[in-house]
Amino acid sequence: MTNKRRVCIVGSGNWGSAIAKIVGYNAAKLETFEDRVTMYVYEEIINGRKLTEIINETHENVKYLPGHQLPANVIAVPDLVEAAKDADFLIFVVPHQFIKTICKTLEGKIKPTAIGLSLIKGFDTVEGGGIDLISHVINRMLNIQVCVLMGANLAGEVADEKFCETTIGCKDKRVAPILRDLIQTDYFRVVVVDDVDTVEICGALKNIVACAAGFVDGLELGDNTKAAVIRLGLMEMIRFVDTFYTGSRLSTFFESCGIADLVTTCYGGRNRRIAEAFVKTGKTVQELETELLNGQKLQGPYTAEEVNHMLRIKNMEEKFPLFTAVHKICVGALSPQKLIDWIRDHPEHQ
């Protein structure tokens, strides 16, 4: 028997694989963790072979993070319950649309003392018109403490070991240093804050703003317009938190999860890229996601829809014109050319 902490990564997409590289490296290095890190892989067949077999033989996720070696102690497991068995730390990193099915499968099957860390950027929709934070969904369904990690962390650049920062939201003073040890490397620097909900909300909302930035790029409106859209997006993010999550701190927006993630996503993210292509090709978001992302998933348009659903029911759309316009454009209810008219009389200008 061992008292070493066991880690499971629930997810193996673009970001899931990049974080597996870091976590695998740290688990092997640190005495307090078991070397073996399991990674739940949603199985698929690539050129006639199982993706899990390819990963375990070549240590490369050839579909979602090609060109990067994963540490050999990261083991791909196609069975979710098997992967999560006896894990002390469960790192959730799947596109947000799959989290409820994942939790349903894990209900009653995990260590009751396990700690969750959610890297998932998005919301869940609540019946009757509200939204729920993904960490709250996991907490409720699995009855475990859930911390969050969000930041300016484009997966490819993290996997390239280019310097960046990230934010961990964790209220538990005993758990915070353990998570930092598990995540921090010399190129991936961690700041821990206890304003957990704000960290997570920043991570979800910035994907809506990234779509707006992509529309601006597609319309070739230039850098000043893009900067204005990013700023108005930031102000709507702050207003959203002030309105619906009172007690949050403005300082959290200055962490990597806030302004830094907003900037990187609005320049280098998938949501931006697809939104630009949306304007230039006239294709739908779904068509472009299928054509351009090779199985990776967009979060922005779905988050815009979830947020809009709530704002509409609360009769608050006009207080969040950028969020509202992004949703309407994504579903074809507003032409992208109308984006600027929609935000010309923004509440910030009154």
Ligand X SMILES: O=C(CO)COP(=O)(O)O
Ligand Y SMILES: NC(=O)C1=CN([C@@H]2O[C@H](COP(=O)(O)OP(=O)(O)OC[C@H]3O[C@@H](n4cnc5c(N)ncnc54)[C@H](O)[C@@H]3O)[C@@H](O)[C@H]2O)C=CC1
Is 206 one of the catalytic residues?
yes
Residue 297: DSSP 8-state = -
Looking up tokens 């601006």 gives 216
Q: Is 155 annotated as a binding residue?
A: yes
Q: Is 162 annotated as a binding residue?
A: no
Q: Which of 206, 280, 283, 338 is catalytic?
A: 206
Q: Is there a contact between 257 and 167 (Cβ–Cβ < 8 Å)? A: yes
Q: Which does 96 bind (CB under 5 to 8 A by kind): ligand X, ligand Y, none?
A: ligand Y
Q: Which does 94 bind (CB under 5 to 8 A by kind): ligand Y, ligand X, none?
A: ligand Y
For the bound state, the minimum distance from the C-beta of residue 122 to ligand X, rounded and expressed in Å, comes to 10
218 counts as binding ligand Y under rule CB under 6 A: no
How do 123-126 and 115-118 pair as beta strands?
unpaired
Residues 6+ apart with CB under 8 A from 85: 109, 110
Q: Report the candidate in 237, 173, 176, 163 with the shortest Cα–Cα distance to residue 207.
A: 237
Among 51, 199, 208, 210, the residue binding ligand X under the rule CB under 6 A is 210
C-alpha distances in Å from residue 208, one per residue of 196, 230, 297: 20, 10, 14
Among 118, 153, 303, 308, the residue binding ligand X under the rule CB under 6 A is 153
Stretch that binds ligand Y, among 29-37, 116-124, 171-179, 336-344 (CB under 6 A): 116-124
Q: Is there a contact between 164 and 153 (Cβ–Cβ < 8 Å)? A: yes
Stretch that binds ligand Y, among 25-33, 82-90, 93-101, 189-197 (CB under 6 A): 93-101
Give the x/- contact pattern for ligand Y in 5-34, rule: CB under 6 A.
Answer: ------xxxxxx------------------
Q: Report the candidate in 234, 150, 265, 143 with the shortest Cα–Cα distance to residue 197.
A: 150
Nearer to ligand X, 52 or 299 (CB): 299
Residues 6+ apart with CB under 8 A from 308: 317, 323, 324, 327, 328
Q: Is 271 annotated as a binding residue?
A: yes
> By Cβ distance, which residue is nearest to ligand Y?
13
299 counts as binding ligand X under rule CB under 6 A: yes
Residues from 125 through 164 that contact ligand Y (CB under 6 A) = 153-155
Q: Is 13 annotated as a binding residue?
A: yes
Q: Is 248 annotated as a binding residue?
A: no
- Between CA 106 and CA 86, with CA 137 as vertex, the angle to 5 degrees is 30
C-alpha distances in Å from residue 124, one per residue of 129, 149, 217, 337: 11, 17, 29, 30
For the bound state, the minimum distance from the C-beta of residue 301 to ligand X, rounded and expressed in Å, comes to 11
Q: Which does 319 bind (CB under 5 to 8 A by kind): ligand X, ligand Y, none?
A: none
Give the residue numbers marked as catalytic: 206
User: Which residues are annotated binding-site positions?
Assistant: 11-16, 98, 121, 155, 270-271, 297, 299
